Amino acid sequence: MGYCDWARTSEANRKYHDTEWGVPVHDDRLMFEHLSLECLQCGLSWNLMLRKREIFRSCFADFDYERVAGYDARDEERILGTPGMIRSPRKVQAVIGNARCFLAVRKEFGSFCDFIWSYSGGKTICYQGHDTGTVPVSNGLSLRLSRDLKKRGFRFVGPVTVYSHLQACGIINDHDRSCPCFRALSAGYPSVTLPRDAEVLPEQS
């Protein structure tokens, strides 16, 4: 079975895999949405995140980071009381706090996308061996970025969460070589092939 076979587990996963996962993101609003979804997903299934995505968008102003950064305790109460919303005050507070940190990064670098893409030199990384299914849960790159984000005040951004984010926003192309998306993304965007980087495999985590 190839790595991308997870896309067959539900219609929501198939659509997400075929149209979003691994497509390079250079829009800060969408980047914030991807990062927030990964934070909200911690300990839960990704399929659940996709099913609740419209609820999240409603709760967090379509992931308008400037508006979310201004949320207060009343907004937290409103969000936690929204039907279908996950009941995690810590995660809701993290998304709001992360929006404030997101603005600080934008002020320093011009955009959050410029900041995060600087970690890959502006290119999508294809790590050797990943296209044949040897895909880690984290690696050296996600660890370095995780540490940087935490120093900047971000929460729920451990190296495993960050690795998933790098896959989602196209900084890492982890589609299986037999997957049409692998070929399309490799041909359509600037890419670089690199050796494996301090990888932690699923059985090691």
Q: Which of 3, 21, 38, 199 is catalytic?
A: 38
Residue 40's alpha-carbon distances to 8, 44, 95, 156, in angstroms, are: 23, 8, 8, 8
Residue 38 annotated to the active site? yes
Whole-angstrom Cα distance, residue 108 to residue 118?
13
Residue 77 annotated to the active site? no
Cβ–Cβ under 8 Å, residues 191 and 125: yes
Residue 16 annotated to the active site? yes
Residue written as token pair 């079975």: 1
Nearest to 142 by CA among 65, 35, 53: 35
Q: Which of 3, 16, 21, 65 is catalytic?
A: 16
Q: Which one-letter DSSP state was computed for residue 130?
A: G
Q: Which of 3, 21, 33, 46 is catalytic?
A: 46
State the catalytic residues: 16, 38, 46
